[in-house]
């Protein structure tokens, strides 16, 4: 079913969703495959036109915007930056620099271990970019009506480079709102599952990035295991355990190599926007003890996205627990909530 949005959970074995034609479904086995979203960290100028998420720029390019002749800086952390650079180059843009926050020794250890996954080693060789800077972060974005330049900091030294676009992403945050709505246990901000990809709720399974970042190969293996397990085909599921373990080791290597540096927090100034929807700045919530206090006193997270962006940023910056989701998860059309006449 395409174009459906999950709204609520009216009862133990039913969900309310919305499509152009209506909604509602009864289920007995549920498989959660709700993916992940990019982690955005605030810094001066990050809301300027021309600054997007790394994955967000990829999505825009698929819609066909012209990048020919534009200078693009790609920043943040993780292998996704290389994939975005490749997409930009194919779209006619000029990638001037890739700014990776992870230090060079960690990257060399990661690259040195890729012989265990030959296809990834070959992929790295084809994507190896020019202008790749390790141990570097974006501190500021400059511009009047749109992005004109960015300031980088590497080993204590700052420099400013001109660019037309900045695509920045600091990894992925699992989407766990659906699982929390169904009462599933989570651990380390991801859905907790057993070896069968079964959650703490017996008839609900989960797979992919919502159980932790690991890449497409791991997600596919998990999805197959979950599908077979939910169907009672335990032998077929068990036959995939080795493949899942292999790609889990790759995921673990990524997470070790690209662990975010604490110094990234220093880029957020008191004037940096934290909640774009409600125009709440980092300095506005500096005295708050937790998310609830920031929400009650400053309306942080009470805008259109309901904290889906700023809550993850605040979690990383201040250590606040993520807020519990509330129904409806998405704003439904009024007619979906009203009883039918007669």
Where in the chain does DSSP place strands (E)? Answer: 5-11, 14-18, 25-26, 30-32, 36-38, 51-53, 71-76, 94-100, 132-133, 136-143, 147-154, 157-162, 165-169, 172-174, 186-187, 190-191, 204-206, 273-275, 280-281
Q: What phi and psi, each to the nearest 5 degrees, are found at residue 162? A: -75, 145
Do residues 149 and 162 make contact, with C-beta atoms less than 8 angstroms apart?
yes
User: Would you give the distance in Å from CA 80 to the centre of its chain?
Assistant: 11
Instruction: Give the domain 5-32+173-257 fold.
Output: FAD/NAD(P)-binding domain (3.50.50)
| Whole-number Å distance between alpha carbons of 313 and 318 | 8
* CA dihedral sign, ordered 93, 273, 210, 305: negative
Pairing label, strands 186-187, 172-174: unpaired
CA dist 116 to 32, 125, 181, 219, 257, Å?
Answer: 30, 15, 39, 19, 15
The answer, yes or no, to whether the previous bond of 100 is cis (omega within 30 of 0) is no
Do residues 139 and 166 make contact, with C-beta atoms less than 8 angstroms apart?
no
| Whole-number Å distance between alpha carbons of 50 and 293 | 32
Per-residue burial over 12-22, b if 16 or more Cβ lie within 10 Å, else e, is eeebbbbeeee
Other Cβ atoms within 10 Å of 65 Cβ, number: 12
Packing angle of the helix pair 216-230, 241-257 (nearest 10 deg): 140
User: H or E segment at 50?
Assistant: none
Q: What phi and psi, each to the nearest 5 degrees, are found at residue 187? A: -145, 130
Which residue blocks in 199-342 are alpha helix, DSSP H?
216-230, 234-238, 241-257, 291-298, 310-318, 334-337
pLDDT at 324: 81
Each residue's pLDDT expressed in tens, for the chain with a length of 342 residues: 666 777 777 777 777 777 767 666 767 788 999 999 999 999 999 999 999 999 999 989 988 777 888 999 999 999 999 999 999 999 999 999 999 999 999 999 999 999 999 888 888 877 767 789 999 999 999 999 999 999 999 999 999 999 999 999 999 999 998 899 889 999 988 999 999 999 999 899 999 999 998 889 999 999 999 999 999 999 999 999 999 999 999 999 999 999 999 999 999 999 999 999 999 999 999 899 999 999 999 999 888 888 888 999 999 999 998 888 776 667 666 665 555 554
DSSP 3-state of 223: helix
One of 3.40.50.1480, 1.10.3210.10, 3.40.190.10, 3.50.50.60 is the CATH number of 51-170, namely 3.50.50.60
Other Cβ atoms within 10 Å of 44 Cβ, number: 18
Question: CATH 3.50.50.60 region(s) of the chain?
Answer: 5-32+173-257, 51-170
């Amino acid at each position: 079913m395409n174009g459906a949005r999950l709204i609520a959970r009216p009862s133990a074995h039913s969900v309310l969703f919305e499509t152009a034609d209506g909604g509602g479904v009864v289920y007995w086995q549920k498989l959660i495959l709700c993916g992940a979203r990019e982690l955005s960290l605030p810094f001066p100028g990050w809301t300027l036109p021309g600054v997007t998420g790394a994955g967000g720029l990829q999505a825009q390019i698929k819609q066909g915007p012209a990048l020919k002749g534009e200078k693009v800086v790609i920043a943040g952390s993780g292998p996704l930056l290389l994939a975005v650079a490749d997409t930009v180059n194919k779209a006619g843009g000029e990638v001037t620099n890739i700014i990776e926050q992870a230090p060079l020794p960690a990257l060399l250890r990661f690259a040195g271990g890729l012989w265990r996954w030959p296809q990834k080693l070959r992929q790295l060789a084809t994507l190896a970019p020019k202008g790749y800077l390790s141990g570097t972060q974006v501190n500021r974005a400059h511009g009047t009506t749109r992005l004109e330049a960015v300031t980088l900091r590497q080993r204590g030294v700052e420099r400013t480079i001109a660019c037309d676009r900045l695509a920045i992403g600091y990894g992925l945050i699992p989407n766990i709102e659906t699982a929390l709505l169904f009462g599933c246990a989570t651990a380390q901000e991801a859905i907790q599952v057993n070896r069968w990809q079964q959650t703490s709720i017996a008839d609900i399974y989960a797979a992919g990035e919502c159980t932790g970042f690991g890449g497409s190969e791991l997600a596919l293996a998990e999805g197959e295991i979950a599908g077979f397990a939910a169907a009672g085909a335990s032998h077929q599921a068990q036959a995939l355990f080795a493949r899942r373990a292999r790609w889990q080791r790759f995921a673990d290597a990524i997470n070790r190599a690209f662990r975010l540096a604490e110094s990234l927090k220093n880029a957020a100034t008191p004037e940096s926007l934290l909640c774009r929807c409600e125009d709440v700045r980092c300095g506005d919530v500096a005295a708050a003890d937790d998310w609830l206090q920031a929400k009650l006193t400053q309306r942080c997270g009470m805008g259109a996205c309901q904290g889906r962006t700023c809550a993850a940023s605040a979690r990383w910056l201040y250590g606040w627990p993520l807020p519990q989701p509330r129904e409806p998860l998405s704003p439904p059309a009024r007619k979906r909530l009203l009883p039918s006449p007669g």
